A and B are shown apart, each in its own frame.
Chain A
């Protein structure tokens, strides 16, 4: 074995730059997205001096907050080699339910909020049930529930927007902010950052987190190693549902209303953030820090291109390109020779 490691070492020393980069990214997948984010920030601030102002940066953070929370739930699911197309639908439907509970049903804000969060959690649990018990592929399950939740959403809301001023203050509280100089940090963003910190901890430092990674890496091996993979999967979909509902609450604050017609693009944006953050669609690889960076990349690109006068349609084009590059990179990193 001593000789084996010696030869390993020799091989590694003779590696080309590309191979060494591949190894570095394999060992530390957050490096790539971080580099993209930093380069983007530098580039956009050179193009437009307004980009790096505190006012603009707080706008970027606010724009990113909802997507980031959804992407956090999405990360958990993608880590288990799943995908959740219903993320945006659950978020929007939860926000409509909260708004309906506290306006039409006349409930106090706190009750409406808790009930709304519970509904979102239940929607996630339905996905989890279909994936683990009926054993349908996550793509199919969430494609179905996406359609169902959006249609229920239209029924409950009557396709009408509920204004924030008609709701108790708690509902729009997430949109309030603490000024730090010219920077405005919303409570929604604070909640988002706390959630990321919590899941960073839960994934890295608890048995549950290890089981999420093991299940996503190779479900059959995880099962043989004694992990109850169905239970892990179910917990992941359920927790994701709760996170989406929190996203829905933050969305009310952001829009100062609850609207049934927003959020269609949130599904793809959340997946985009996860993928840009270096989490592998094949499961078992990735981190929530990467996802936060991925969400920031989306936000920075949208905002920077806007400031640079690029039309909205071309912003989508640019982000689509980024995603393709990120997925190709993931494939390449996966092929790492060890």
Chain B
């Protein structure tokens, strides 16, 4: 069996008396789309935050390409090639689209202007931003220098998705990336997710949208009460079976092999 790109074992995170994740495991294999589904509060966001350095788990281990990693900040995970779209999007509303795409990894002008005066290479970043946004099919955005707060919810989501797709080099994690999107835009993001996978990057997709999940996922990780209940595939189970496991109405099948 191939080795997982990203693996978590026994992750636990408590917030006071609330146990957000309770000894959760996760495996992500090369070139797959792994959907993570679960009720509200099942610990999906907390789980992926542990994988992306946004929170430090109380217990448990994370392995990237078989080597154990300890992410202290989101920057650490990014440096390791893990890009994340958070449920809250994590954009700076007052900055423009290009600034947001390059937030935390700005490019400086070549030569003295960049090295001594630390001047940003705005024209280059804008051109790149435009390219990434049009790859996403949101070229209808009038102006790349537009503040993100002046965008619609779906357009903001597109900015966050474009950022992760553009910079992910190992793993792309998307926490409900289609929640605010219209049908057409949602389908575009699904296509983008497939494109990212076809580029060879595995994707973790958290979604409440069962048709989306069953359309793109290779495997489906069902999170329940802070831990993994089971992993199924769109072929092995129907949507209603998945929902029954998710809500606890049905017994999860014994953990299927990958």
Mark A residues whose CB is within 8 Å of B: 1-2, 4-5, 201, 205-208, 210-211, 213-214, 217-218, 220-228, 284-285, 338
Q: Does B118 contact A (CB under 8 A)?
A: yes
Chain A residues near B119 (CB, 8 Å)?
205-206
Chain A residues near B54 (CB, 8 Å)?
223-224
Mark B residues whose CB is within 8 Å of A: 54, 73-75, 78, 84, 86, 88-95, 99-100, 103-106, 108, 117-120, 122, 138, 140, 142, 149-152, 155, 184-185
B94:A226 contact, CB within 8 angstroms: no
Question: In the complex, A187 Cα to B78 Cα: how many Å?
Answer: 47
Q: In the complex, what's the smallest C-beta–C-beta distance from A42 to chain B, in angstroms?
A: 32
Question: In the complex, A43 Cα to B91 Cα: how many Å?
Answer: 44
* A213 in contact with B140 given A207-B120, A228-B73 (CB within 8 Å): no
* A5 in contact with B103 given A221-B91, A225-B91, A338-B149 (CB within 8 Å): no
A207:B118 contact, CB within 8 angstroms: yes
Question: In the complex, A307 Cα to B121 Cα: how many Å?
Answer: 49
Question: In the complex, A74 Cα to B97 Cα: how many Å?
Answer: 28
**Nearest 5 A/B pairs, CB to CB:** A226-B104, A224-B90, A214-B92, A207-B106, A221-B90
Question: In the complex, A4 Cα to B118 Cα: how many Å?
Answer: 39
Q: In the complex, what's the smallest C-beta–C-beta distance from A150 to chain B, in angstroms?
A: 35
A226:B140 contact, CB within 8 angstroms: no
Main secondary structure of the interface of A (DSSP, over half): helix
Q: List the A residue with the shortest CB-CB distance to B103.
A: A225
Q: Please report the number of residue pairs spanning A and B whose Cβ atoms sit closer than 8 angstroms.
A: 85
A217:B93 contact, CB within 8 angstroms: yes
Chain A residues near B142 (CB, 8 Å)?
5
Chain B residues near A218 (CB, 8 Å)?
92-93
Contact of A213 (CB < 8 Å), options: B94, B104, B118 = B94
A4:B152 contact, CB within 8 angstroms: yes
Chain B residues near A217 (CB, 8 Å)?
92-95
Could you show 25 A-B contacts with beta carbons less than 8 Å apart? A1-B140, A5-B140, A205-B120, A206-B119, A206-B120, A207-B106, A211-B104, A213-B92, A214-B95, A217-B92, A217-B93, A217-B95, A218-B93, A221-B90, A223-B54, A223-B73, A224-B54, A224-B88, A224-B90, A225-B92, A225-B103, A226-B75, A226-B103, A226-B104, A227-B103
Question: In the complex, A223 Cα to B76 Cα: how many Å?
Answer: 12
Contact of A210 (CB < 8 Å), options: B74, B86, B91, B99 = B99
Q: List the B residue with the shortest CB-CB distance to A208.
A: B118
Chain A residues near B120 (CB, 8 Å)?
205-207, 210
Chain B residues near A201 (CB, 8 Å)?
117
Residue of B75, B84, B93 contacting most chain A CB atoms (<10 Å): B93
Question: In the complex, A226 Cα to B54 Cα: how many Å?
Answer: 9
Question: In the complex, A227 Cα to B95 Cα: how many Å?
Answer: 14
Chain B residues near A4 (CB, 8 Å)?
152
B86:A224 contact, CB within 8 angstroms: yes
A1:B185 contact, CB within 8 angstroms: yes
Residue of B73, B94, B106, B184 contacting most chain A CB atoms (<10 Å): B94
Chain A residues near B122 (CB, 8 Å)?
205
Chain A residues near B74 (CB, 8 Å)?
223-226
Q: List the A residue with the shortest CB-CB distance to B49.
A: A224
Q: In the complex, what's the smallest C-beta–C-beta distance from B171 to chain A, in angstroms?
A: 15
Question: In the complex, A33 Cα to B14 Cα: how many Å?
Answer: 49
* A221 in contact with B88 given A210-B95, A228-B75 (CB within 8 Å): yes
Chain B residues near A221 (CB, 8 Å)?
88-92
